[in-house]
Homo-oligomer: A and B are copies of this chain.
Amino acid sequence: MRLRIRPTETAFYDLFTQLAQHLVEGADLLAKMLDESVDRDDVAAQLREVEHNADETTHAIINRVNQTFVTPFDREDIYKLASSLDDVMDFIEEAGDLVVLYELDALPGRMASMVEVIQRGCELTAEAMPRLRTMTDLSEYWIEINRLENQGDRDYRRILAKLFSGEYKALEVLKLKDVVDSLESAVDALESVANTVEQIAVKES
């Protein structure tokens, strides 16, 4: 028998929006890293910084939910939303980190397409977070994320087919596959964020 009290608890929406904006910054840095002419070590350092900021925001959300008596929606859903947003960030940072660690030069072209999917997904997520407050226009968001996830999945499968086409050596395949798997996980995590938002919206309707 859940009580439904709506205080002016706006801090959660602000923090979720802030967290999603870190994702946008992270995805943009990841896109930069695909360009071979940049100083990748420098971009990777910036990416780590953004990931650190996202961690702090996630932490702030979790501490707040643990110390707040009335939350704008289910406590468990707040945890889930915060941790799935944080997962997106972790996979973005992991992908960028591996590009540097493995000293990868030429990346299959379709990787850029996957990173664009991630950038677009992060932007849509950042735009959707403030709308959690009024629960309006959220279905457009999760429908579009699902479409992006399908596109990301097609890209992923084509990259895999290319990696195993015989064009690459085994060690190179191992390295590239690690990066592509991180990208794929980031796309999946974006979908998982959208699923959580959908669940929250259904409960409130």
Residues of B with C-beta under 8 A to A202: 62-63, 66-67
Q: Does any Cβ of B come within 8 Å of A4's Cβ?
A: no
Output the least CB separation between A188 and chain B (Å): 10
Q: Name which residue of chain B comes closest to A63, CB basis.
A: B202
Task: State the majority secondary structure of interface residues on A.
Answer: helix
Q: Are A171 and B171 within 8 A (Cβ)?
A: no
CB-contact partner of A173 in B160, B171, B199, under 8 A: B171
State whether A101 and B160 are in contact (beta carbons under 8 Å apart), knowing that A62-B199, A66-B199, A66-B203 are contacts in the complex.
Answer: yes
Contact residues in B for A175 (Cβ distance below 8 Å): 164
- A164-B3 contact in complex given A170-B170, A171-B173, A202-B67, C-beta closer than 8 Å: no
Q: Select one of B101, B174, B199 contacting A170, CB under 8 A.
A: B174
Interface string of A72-108 (1 = CB under 8 A from B): 0000100000000000000000000100011000000
Q: Does A38 contact B (CB under 8 A)?
A: no
Most buried by B among A97, A102, A164, A203: A164
Report A37-77 CB contacts with B as 1/0, cut-off 8 Å. 00000000000000000000000001100110000000010
5 closest A-B pairs (Cβ-Cβ)?
A170-B170, A66-B202, A66-B203, A170-B171, A63-B202
